[in-house]
């Protein structure tokens, strides 16, 4: 089972809000996740981004790989 850490879209039309989730890579984008890790809201100024570092470390230790978008968000958070 290949695990991914990726975004799932929430919110209404033209007002996106994303949850960061640990999910099987074969599951559809808005499918049932294994665990919610945080959220990302690009519609407010400044952008809201929060993630549970302990849960993220746990899933990465289990072999989950962040998507390109989540990886860039994590790098921006580290700065």
Place 66 in a pLDDT band, splitting at 50, 70 and 90. Answer: very high
Residue 69 has pLDDT above 90, yes or no: yes
13-29 pLDDT per residue, tens? 999 999 999 999 898 88
Residue 5 has pLDDT above 70, yes or no: yes
Beta strands in 1-67 (DSSP E): 3-12, 15-24, 35-41, 48-51, 65-66
Rounded CA-CA distance 4/45 in Å is 28
Class of domain 3-78: alpha beta
Residue 3 has pLDDT above 80, yes or no: yes
Domain limits, the chain = 3-78
Q: Which residues pair with 41 in a beta bridge?
A: 48
HSE, side-chain direction, 13 A CA sphere, residue 8: 21
């Amino acid at each position: 089972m290949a695990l991914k850490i990726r975004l799932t879209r929430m919110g209404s039309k033209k007002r996106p809000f994303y949850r960061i989730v640990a999910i099987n890579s074969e599951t559809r984008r808005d499918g049932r996740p294994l665990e919610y890790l945080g959220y990302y809201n690009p519609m407010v100024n400044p952008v809201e981004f929060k993630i549970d570092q302990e849960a993220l470390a746990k899933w990465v230790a289990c072999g989950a790989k962040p998507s390109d978008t989540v990886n860039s968000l994590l790098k921006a958070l580290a700065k």
